[in-house]
Amino acid sequence: MSTYFSRPDREEFGLCSHAMSVSEIIDFDDFSDIEIKKIAGYRKENNYELIIEMERIHLGFKFRGYVKGFTDEIEIFKFKRPDKLLVNNWQSWGPSKVIEKDFRLDFPDDLIQKFGFSVSIMPELYFDNLISDYYIASEHFLVGGLSSKVAHPYFQLDENEVSVKLRYFGIRFEQWQEIEPVVILFDDTDKVLPYYADLVAKENRVALSGKRLVGWSSWYQYFLDFDYEKMCTELENTRRRGYDVFQIDDAWEVDIGDWTPNSKFPSLEEVAAKIKEYGYVPGIWLAPFSVSETSTLFKEHPDWLVRGEDGNPRVAYENWNKRIYALDTTVPQALNWLANLFQNLKKCGFEYFKIDFLFAGAIQGKRLENVTPIQAYIQGITTIKKAVGDSFILGCGAPLLPSIGYVDGMRIGPDTAPYWDVSSSDIGYPNAYYSLRNALTRWFTNGIWWWNDPDCLMLRKSDTQLSDVQRELYTLTSLLLDNMIIQSDNLAYVMDDRLWSIVSEYRKYGRRKVHLSGIMSGQYNITSCGVDGCDSLFITDLEDCVFTYSKDTVDIELIKTVELKDDGRTFNYYNEK
């Protein structure tokens, strides 16, 4: 066993010292184009060569480039650190938030080992440095990586400067290798964020499925205490609620890594068939890159796991009171196993896959093939996508940029919870408050990278510490942002029916066009337009749930009916109510 976190071994990652250093610091509040042009050109370092090309694009500049040789890390350029910055964590649960100059990371020591790599793909840097992954934005500009297929684009902040870096984790390129493109975009944050998201989507050739789902999940009601009987009871209670999907969460499996039903469930065919009886798409949860120390998979295939420098399997994180290891997705047999696992689930009837703790597929360590953790991750997620075909994939606990183009939906915040705690640490721990904060600060990826999953709505009035107003704000935000809507309640409880009727109202028609402004101020103003007009939600104080919601006045109510003619043509009729 190799526990990376109990004994952070800096030597192991001492390769960072090979990173080249760019001396000039650009001040984006006062610069000339010449300073930006200087970033481009040919550089020769001790171990590698680098070519960077600059292209002028709408709102700013794009850098493409090529690297050859042994590379641990490339610094592309440095810029003067503005006082206020929007920073972002690499995976679903991590915070995306605005920080001021005096911000200091406050991470409880006793959670470091448990969280493992979930906090960062570079835990050796994370706790002593300020890091933003993928993108960073001030009030007037944004710098961001357009892809993460080989390297990890990130920003290292010190007191006065921000260094723009691509981390390659010590890899040798014999041939010229294209680097991840980076853009600088100048405009108000609220304008550049969606624009940046779209550039990323185009770079990764995203063709987003039109499936915007409404569903039910077992997790935030039952957690691990869920079984087939409860499932059947809930299914009975779902009648007329208009869900698309019904998803069983963590609770059904023998162990993390042993993805067969435990004694609380019949066969998976039966589970899926039961859900289908009610007209829903059967959904299932699993953590495909995670392998628990107690699993049969761990015992039988220790050679399928990512290893530390000592050659022993490396702990990726701890959960379920167990050490969890990571599947080495460069081992052909492990990839086969992964493909079979998903093909089999699909054969059983599941067509919605919530795949969780995905960051485990991208931890640093030794793998069979000498690839970067990002390349390994992409091999894993590609295998899953291929196996499930056009079924819906919801990513969770996932590295954001490398998942683009592979998932249909994505959790974009920490787990929600039946409580709203504004005083706890902002570290990705379950909390409705931080969960909703991330839904707001990452709003701009929705419908562009994937459908954002702001995590489940809990509409029950008992068995929860959420207040009416917290529940209302959560629901309205998810709806106005046009996110995925998954409810997690025991449906026998008394519900906030008014909120559910608002959900049904909003989901009657197609997509919405959304804009959010105020990200840097923390006063979020959402304008959300649909067939019935433009509604707005202005959150002046998220902590205390102070907001104004205004719904557009609807004078004309059109009822749409759709007819499919014998010749295959569709007719849409619109009649007044």
Partner 1 sequence: MMERRYNVLTDEWVMVSAFTQQRPTNPTTSCPLCVGGDEFSIPYDLASFDNRFPSMKVDAPEVESDSRLYKRARANGKCEVVVYTVEHNSAMSLMPTYQIEKLIKMWVDRYLELSLQPAIKYIFIFENRGAEVGATLSHPHGQLYAFPFLPKRIDAKMQSLTKYYDENKRCAICDVVENELATNERLIYENEGFIAFVPFYARWPYEVHVYPKRHISSLVEMNNSERSLLSKALKIVTMKYDLLFQQSFPYMMMLFQSPVNDVRYDHAFHFHIEFNPVKRDKNKIKWMASVETGTWAFINPKLPEEAAAELRSVEVVI
Can you tell me the distance from the alpha carbon of 168 to that of 16, in angstroms, rounded to the nearest whole number?
Answer: 10
Q: 111 or 206, CB closer to partner 1?
A: 206
User: With contact defined as beta carbons under 8 Å apart, do 382 and 333 qualify?
Assistant: no
Q: Which residue is associated with the tokens 């009035």? A: 461
CB 548 to partner 1: min, Å = 16
572 is an interface residue for partner 1 by CB under 8 A:
yes
C-alpha to C-alpha distance for 516 and 451, rounded to whole angstroms: 16
- The Cα–Cα gap between 128 and 97 comes to 19
Site for partner 1 in 128-147 (CB under 8 A): none
Minimum Å gap between C-beta 534 and partner 1 is 4
Task: List residues with catalytic annotation.
Answer: 356, 415
Q: Is 154 helix (H, G, I), strand (E, B) or coil?
A: strand
By CB under 8 A, the residues from 460 to 489 that bind partner 1 are none
Exposed/middle/buried for residue 563 (C-beta within 10 Å: 0-12, 13-18, 19+): exposed
Closest CB to partner 1 among residues 104, 569? 569
Query: Any idea which residue has 């994370």 for tokens?
Result: 126
520 contacts partner 1 (rule: CB under 8 A) = no
Does 108 contact partner 1 by CB under 8 A? no
Q: Which of 42, 370, 510, 548 binds partner 1 (CB under 8 A)?
A: 510
**CA nearest 443: which of 503, 527, 516, 545?**
516
Pick from 152, 167, 212, 442: which binds partner 1 (CB under 8 A)?
A: 212
Residue (326 or 394) nearer to partner 1, CB: 394
Which range, of 246-254, 274-282, 541-549, 560-568, touches partner 1 by CB under 8 A? 560-568
Q: Supply the minimum distance, in Å, between the C-beta of residue 576 and partner 1.
A: 6
User: Which among 457, 451, 510 is positioned nearest to 208, based on CA atoms?
Assistant: 451
The amino acid occupying position 145 is G
Nearer to partner 1, 211 or 461 (CB): 211
Length of the chain equals 577
- Candidates 194, 282, 399, 414; binder of partner 1 (CB under 8 A) is 194
The stretch near partner 1 (CB under 8 A) out of 90-98, 317-325, 414-422, 506-514 is 506-514
Sequence-distant (6+) residues with CB within 8 A of 236 are none
Q: Distance between CA atoms of 363 and 316, rounded to whole angstroms?
A: 7
* CA end-to-end distance (rounded Å), the chain: 67
389 interacts with partner 1 by CB under 8 A: no
Annotate each residue in 44-63 with x if it binds partner 1 (CB under 8 A) or - if it does not, as one string.
--------------xx----
* Choice from 424, 531, 541, 544 touching partner 1 (CB under 8 A): 531
Percent of residues in the chain assigned helix, strand, coil, to nearest 5: 25, 35, 40
Identify the residue among 11, 207, 462, 566 touching partner 1 (CB under 8 A). Answer: 207
Is 566 near partner 1 (CB under 8 A)? no
Among 31, 42, 223, 509, binds partner 1 (CB under 8 A): 509
- 529 is a site residue for partner 1 (CB under 8 A): yes
Q: Closest distance between partner 1 and the C-beta of residue 120, in Å?
A: 29
Q: Which of 25, 51, 339, 534 binds partner 1 (CB under 8 A)?
A: 534
508 near partner 1 (CB under 8 A):
no
Residue 89 near residue 99, CB atoms below 8 Å: no
**Residue number with CB closer to partner 1 (94 or 395):** 395
Give dist(CA 412, CA 455) in Å, integer.
8
User: Own/partner pairs for 202-208, CB < 8 Å, 24+ apart?
Assistant: 203/146, 203/147, 204/146, 204/147, 204/404, 204/405, 205/405, 206/404, 206/405, 206/448, 206/449, 206/450, 208/408, 208/447, 208/448, 208/449, 208/450, 208/451
Residue 571 binds partner 1 (CB under 8 A): yes
Write the interaction track for partner 1 spanning residues 434-453; mark x where CB under 8 A is met and - where it is not: --------------x-----
Using the rule CB under 8 A, give the single segment among 26-34, 200-208, 283-291, 353-361 that binds partner 1: 200-208
Interface stretch with partner 1, choices 191-199, 304-312, 422-430, 541-549 (CB under 8 A): 191-199
Least separation in angstroms between residue 196's CB and partner 1 is 10
Of 494 and 556, the one with the shorter C-beta distance to partner 1 is: 556
What phi and psi values does residue 37 have, to the nearest 5 degrees? -65, -30
Binding status of residue 40 toward partner 1 by CB under 8 A:
no
Q: Is 576 in the site for partner 1 (CB under 8 A)?
A: yes
Pairing between strand 245-248 and 281-286? parallel
512 sits near partner 1 (criterion: CB under 8 A): yes
Pairing of strands 558-564, 451-453: unpaired
Whichever of 136 and 200 has its CB closer to partner 1, that residue is 200
Show contacts with partner 1 in window 279-338 (CB under 8 A): none
Q: Which helix (H) or strand (E) holds 475?
A: helix 468-480
Give CA separation, 299 vs 218, 293, 342, in Å.
30, 8, 21
Q: Give yes or no for residue 34 binding partner 1 (CB under 8 A).
A: no
Q: Which is nearer to partner 1, 59 or 232 (CB)?
A: 59
Please say whether the beta carbons of 354 and 285 come within 8 A. Answer: yes
Determine contact, residues 422/433, Cβ cutoff 8 Å: yes
What sign results for the dihedral spanned by CA atoms 262, 267, 269, 273? negative
Binding segment (CB under 8 A) for partner 1, from list 101-109, 266-274, 324-332, 510-518: 510-518
Tell me how far, at minimum, the Cβ of 64 lies from partner 1, in Å.
18
Q: Does 386 bind partner 1 (CB under 8 A)?
A: no
Chain residues that interact with partner 1, rule: CB under 8 A: 58-59, 187, 191, 194-195, 197-199, 202, 206-210, 212, 448, 509-513, 515, 527, 529-534, 552-556, 558, 560, 567-576
